Amino acid sequence: MIATVIKNPKPKLETRARLIEATARLFSLHGYNGLTLRSVAKEAKANLAAANYHFGSKDALVLEMLRERIQPINQRRLELLEEEKNNNSNLPLGVFQIFRTLIHPIGEEISKSANSRCSLAQLVARTFTEPTEFIERMHHRFFSQIAEIYHRELSLTFPNQPAKEIYWHLHLAVASMLGALAQHRRLEDFTKGMCNENQVDEMINRLTKFVSHGFTHGLRNSSPS
């Protein structure tokens, strides 16, 4: 019994983690089809068979990687939303406040990952263009929950707007957010160097403002709180 406890003093979980990290990097660079187990093994300095041992298949590896990256962001969103609601007690939240809780968590993660060699922005962007069925299913599961929560919150802020109108513009807001994240690496090029792509905070702030105004003024009869 004691032996069982002492066993694995150094659990050597590293390989698994390295595989996940390499998968994230290569997936965001080359997409699902461009990612090969060989490239993952090489990048992670692991053996070719390691990925199949730890995850069973290429599909399972990519899914696990996505799950590990996306879930903390969604949790943080809900946390921030709760915080804002507690601070404002019974008042409906402002549009800007709401979208800040949606956009900032992913901005924070992108800032964190800015120094690493894998851009979270590009990873998220890619998962939303990849039509591989299991990725679609995963996003549906991840996102339909949180979309309902934000729809409800925005309905409180714009009580005179029909659900459909809120849906339309929430859809546009989310699409804009994803587009901005996906295009972020092009910013410096696009602006001929005038805007720096390293200032993630500035991008997030501008994006939040952009989206809030697009949402509010796009509505038929805007009645912001």
Q: Would you tell me which residues interact with a copy of itself (CB under 8 A)?
A: 29-34, 122, 125-126, 128-131, 140, 143-144, 147, 163-164, 167-169, 171-172, 174-180, 182-184, 186-187, 189-192, 194-195, 206-207, 209-211, 213-218
Cβ neighbours of 95 (radius 10 Å): 25
Helix, strand, coil percentages in the chain from 3-state DSSP, rounded to 5: 75, 0, 25
Burial 182-200 (b: 16+ CB within 10 A, else e): bebeebeeeeeeeeebeeb
| CB nearer to a copy of itself: pick between 16 and 219 | 219
CA 38 from centroid of its chain's CA atoms: 26
Please report whether residue 7 would count as binding DNA according to CB under 7 A: no
Please report whether residue 67 would count as binding DNA according to CB under 7 A: no
Which option in a copy of itself, DNA, none does residue 150 bind, with CB closer than 5 to 8 A by kind?
none
Which option in a copy of itself, DNA, none does residue 9 bind, with CB closer than 5 to 8 A by kind?
none
Cβ partners under 8 Å of residue 70, min gap 6: 124, 142
Three-state SS sequence of 39-60: HHHHHCCCCCCHHHHHHCCHHH
**Contacting residue, 50, 93, 180, 203, with DNA by CB under 7 A:** 50
Sign of CA dihedral 175, 151, 108, 123: negative
User: What are phi and psi for residue 190, nearest 5 degrees?
Assistant: -60, -40
| CB nearer to a copy of itself: pick between 16 and 104 | 104
Interface region with DNA, contact rule CB under 7 A, candidates 32-40, 119-127, 146-154, 162-170: 32-40
Query: At closest approach, how far in Å is the CB of 194 from a copy of itself?
Result: 5
**Contacting residue, 17, 47, 116, 218, with DNA by CB under 7 A:** 47
Query: At closest approach, how far in Å is the CB of 83 from a copy of itself?
Result: 25
Which option in a copy of itself, DNA, none does residue 49 bind, with CB closer than 5 to 8 A by kind?
DNA
